[in-house]
Structure 1
Amino acid sequence: MDDRAIRFHHAGDVTVKAGRRIAPRRLHDYELVYFPVGTQSGYTVSGSEHVLDRPCVLFTRPNELHEYRFDPDRPCRHMFVHFDIGRQSGLMDYRLLEEQTCCVFPLEDRSLVPQLMKQLLYLFHKRPPRWISLAEKLLLYMLEELESALEPAGADFDEQTLPPQISDALHYIEAHAKEPIEVERLARNAGWSREHFTRTFQHHVGHPPKQWIMRRKIELAAQLLLQRPDSVKQIARGVGFADEYYFHRLFRKTMGMTATEYRRKYGDARMRELAPPDDWGRFYPLNHFFILEKRKPDV
């Protein structure tokens, strides 16, 4: 390899016929696969079988023995990329690269992997100026998201231990983060008084419900500041803040800087020139393989 952190080999967006199998094999490189829809497909690695019954990402390491058994009753779409990582890149410290770590990652609603994977394939198809550098950044973000999922303290709470009323409230907040959300409504949905709901929510989540709602709105706004060219005012209104000045105060308190400073520090205007987040099939051919670099065949 040269001194690049990542070297891409090939990628694709394909829909395979129902019942297809990929016999046991070992790869010479890393493979990241995104399944956008849950099916009854199966993935077996090192003798452990996983049913891919929800949107997920698979991460296969070099020389890991694995096989695929696709859903017997329905076609299965998946997007994938094969790559190598430079030994001197600093990425080799990732626990993700260790064989004994998790290899199947169910995707949360807030995951950016679906958009990033499609943008990655768009770059492979169009190959605009500096496409390799842009592609590396997109892949690195996906690897960071998967790596963070391995951290035991990476989440604010363990959803499996939550009462169903609190879990439902958290899902409601995520699904309606762009809308006004009243604590009274969450309490009614839970069948509890506001006082009991607030005490229970804070006990399990670590934040009062109103504070958590505002935090999630600000975090969503931070994402949108990097993904969209909209003005700060438009983004503030888009996540449910009618009072722009309140949004600015809350953003600075939560993120430690103003929204404008956040966009200037972390934004990259080139990212906004990639494919828009809908009607992806118009931007690169579906059922297509992108050959980026020749390699010896896998076994």
Structure 2
Amino acid sequence: MDTFRFHSAGDVTVKAGHHIPERRLSDYELVYFPIGTQTVYKTDGSREELNDPCIIVTRPGEPHSYHFDPMKPTRHLFIHFDCDPETIQSRYSLLTATDSTVIALQDHSLVPQLLNQLLFYFHRRPERWRPLTESLMLAMLEELESMVLPGSKPAVEATIPMQIDQALQYIDLHVTEKIEVEQLARSAGWSHEHFTRTFQQYIGFSPKMWITKRRLDLAAQLLLRNAYSIKEVARNAGFSDEYYFHRLFRQKMGITATEYRRKYGDSRMSDLAPLNDLGRFYPRNHLFVMDSRQKK
């Protein structure tokens, strides 16, 4: 077999009080909770309250259940996978342990970035995406293994300038409204030219292109909720011209909005909560299936 065989993955937000009853998976599951909640994870003889950001590794055949936060929606990212027993399983104790593996994340852990990049590759499927994802998965396991060993030190997290991060947050909060790049630059205390150049440097998009991308991200999320017509999706995503939305969506996504809904709509998403944060580089509340043998 390959070093890794990925089955499914996602970045989802479930409704308050959602419950996954006891189950036994036939593969590994790695789950990341980016913030602490009142979610409870139970496995054979163990009960963990997930009050802090953490990673959970569940092994094949291990009985476990989730009782998600009863008061508010809970976001979590997950990957289902198999791996070669000789080269991978024997190398990492967290894959062969017999007790519950809940790993508290250090403030500067690289695991969130690695996991987000994995989901980006699962979404975009660029050339050589399989070896790329295997390399990232190995890096993530190395990072996690170091966390369960004594004497480990946190890695240094790369950060973007505060002004750019604030602009990103503003865009996400006001994405359906009219947003002027000049106003974003003034709020950052920079000139239009410096703001645009720095934004492009760290984000990989110009501010205008990023605003359009975020509106399309929102539209793609709304399309998965069949209660909205395509016209309503366009309007609710900040597009005043429905025909422009149709043309732009097809140009950027490669398929029409109707085809996107038909291709990615999934009844298993019925327990997911509406999103405030759409995900910057791949769609949230979306199931990526690489191998249909095992799904969440």
| TM superposition score category, shorter chain reference | 0.5 to 0.7
- Structure 2 CA distance, aligned partners of 1:44 and 1:275? 41
Alignment counterpart, residue 287 of structure 2, candidates 273, 286, 289: 289
Stretch moving more, 104-113 or 145-154: 145-154
Size of the aligned set, in residue pairs, is 186
Residue 275 and residue 112 in structure 1: after superposition, are their counterparts in 2 closer, same or farther (change >3 A)? farther
Match of 2:138 in 1: 140
Match of 1:47 in 2: 45
Offset of 1:290 from its aligned partner? Answer: 0.4
Q: What amino acid is aligned across from residue 100 of structure 1 in structure 2?
A: T
Gaps of 5+ in 2: 161-200, 215-277
- Structure 1 CA distance, aligned partners of 2:61 and 2:102? 17
Stretch moving more, 66-75 or 287-296: 287-296
- After superposition, residues 111-130 of structure 1 pair within 5 angstroms as 111-130=109-128
The sequence identity of aligned pairs, in percent, is 49
Alignment counterpart, residue 27 of structure 2, candidates 20, 29, 36: 29
Normalising by structure 2, report the TM-score.
0.57
Offset of 1:47 from its aligned partner? Answer: 2.3
Q: What amino acid is aligned across from residue 87 of structure 1 in structure 2?
A: P
Q: What amino acid is aligned across from residue 6 of structure 2 in structure 1?
A: F
Match of 1:7 in 2: 5
Residue 90 and residue 29 in structure 1: after superposition, are their counterparts in 2 closer, same or farther (change >3 A)? closer
- Structure 1 CA distance, aligned partners of 2:121 and 2:48? 31
- Structure 1 CA distance, aligned partners of 2:204 and 2:20? 31
Offset of 1:100 from its aligned partner? Answer: 2.8
Residue 36 and residue 297 in structure 1: after superposition, are their counterparts in 2 closer, same or farther (change >3 A)? closer
- Structure 1 CA distance, aligned partners of 2:86 and 2:104? 30
Computing the radius of gyration from Cα coordinates, the structure with the larger value is 1
Contact conserved, 2:19 with 2:68, CA < 8 A, in 1? Answer: yes
- Structure 1 CA distance, aligned partners of 2:96 and 2:152? 18
Q: What amino acid is aligned across from residue 64 of structure 1 in structure 2?
A: E
Residue 147 and residue 275 in structure 1: after superposition, are their counterparts in 2 closer, same or farther (change >3 A)? farther
Normalising by structure 1, report the TM-score.
0.57
Matched, 1:103 2:101: yes
- Structure 1 CA distance, aligned partners of 2:91 and 2:280? 38
Gaps of 5+ in 1: 156-173, 175-218, 229-271
Stretch moving more, 84-93 or 43-52: 84-93
